[in-house]
Amino acid sequence: MSEIFKGNFTQQEPIPDEAIAAAVEVMKTGRLHRYNVAGDDPGEVALLEQEFARAMGVKYCLAVASGGYAMACALRAVGVKPGDKVLTNTFTLAPVPGSIASVGAVPVFVGVTEDLVIDLDDLVAKVGQAKVLMLSHMRGHLADMDRLMEICDAAGVTVIEDCAHTMGAKWRGRLSGTDGLIGCYSTQTYKHLNSGEGGFLVTDDEDVAARAIILSGSYMLYGRHLAAPGPEVFERVKYVTPNVSGRMDNLRAAILRPQLRRLDAQCEAWNARYRAVEDGLRGTPGLTVVERPAEEYYVGSSIQFLLLDWAEEQIDAVLKRCAARGVELKWFGGAEPTGFTSRYDSWRYAPSELMPESDRVLKGILDMRLPLTFSLEDCALIARIIRAEVGAVFQGEAA
């Protein structure tokens, strides 16, 4: 009899008891707004920002309402204006071009390689078209950050990193989000810290940090921030920076602080599951495993593989056969968006040219979440199912 997986791909771990207790204490006070604090109490959000800045090894941190807000705030903080062009990845999720469109700017899409990272040769060809790159580390895959920064620095292009899938990841030992001018993170439920919604913006640039804090809706309460520049920096920006409110609240911060202390261990747990699936898939006929470079320390909270040059009906057969055995795969190659999966040409508010080489890669990408509620045995079972069903379709079509 064929094996069936009975787990749930959307079931995350429960919020830790320490975080639940901290959240209850905040609710008992009624002081959920980040600036509604009593006496000398700095509040949960200010403490979280201080702790996250320390964890990322940066000077300044701002906690916000979502990762998407962090990206839009970052664009405003570096001076992107309506009509400006902003470079970004072809392979990404809708909030990335959405953040660019939200400030009236125009995305310029840069191709994707079979390693699922931004195509640096295509970046070289297009880098002169914009002054900002919104770099998406999509699904946790890090490009060669040394070469990327050399390209952008030489062209005078500011790099903002979308680290929604790379919190805790590293390139040559440098934490994701610290190579560019600004790093943006998400704490949405499926990310590496879970507050339902939420995010962070980090930087070592004092003017960017001050503008972001004013933008987020600090009013003139910026002095209550612990991971912020001094008051003299705010004097330069406070009267010329609009309020575009997007603050994090104390309840979500209370939930996140205990989780942040566990981040390194959680990253290792995700990677153990990733390797279990990867090992099981390696060598499957017709299936390409995405090889990770030695310079990259990744966080495998999801896994991707490629069915390159397969016909759409073949890929659809794999999806259906795996689903019948309890394994939920998402496909980024469909002509129409489904759930969170979409392509650069799905976003009709963002003009795009045909990109045949990227289209070939996108058409072959299958994606799967790896929640920590899965055991290593679960992951081995999932790999066996995918291997069997990919093999069945591949061999059947080949025959």
pTM of the entire predicted model = 0.97
- Please report the pLDDT score of residue 2 as a whole number: 87
- State the Cα–Cα distance between residues 48 and 46, nearest whole angstrom: 5
Domains of the chain and any CATH numbers: 17-261 (3.40.640.10), 263-398 (3.90.1150.10)
Separation CA 70–CA 317 (nearest Å): 39
Q: Assess contact for 313 and 361: CB atoms under 8 A.
A: no
Query: Three-class SS of residue 302?
Result: strand
Give pLDDT < 70 ranges for the chain: 1, 397-399
Helices (H), the chain: 17-29, 44-56, 67-77, 95-102, 120-126, 145-155, 206-215, 231-237, 250-261, 263-281, 312-324, 356-363, 376-398
Amino acid identity, position 27: M
Measure the CA–CA gap between 398 and 157, rounded to whole angstroms. 47
Give pLDDT, residue 397: 55
Confidence at residue 215, expressed as pLDDT on a 0 to 100 scale? 98
Tell me what pLDDT residue 32 has: 97
Task: State the DSSP code for 334.
Answer: -
Compute how many other C-beta atoms are within 10 angstroms of the C-beta atom of residue 150: 12
Could you read off the pLDDT of 359-387 as tens digits, one per residue? 999 999 999 999 999 999 999 999 999 99
Residue 361's contacts (CB-CB under 8 Å, 6 or more residues apart) are 91, 112, 113, 114, 116, 306, 308
Segment 42-51, tens digit of pLDDT: 999 999 999 9
Amino acid at residue number 100: I
pLDDT of residue 335: 75
The pLDDT score that the predictor gives to residue 398 is 43
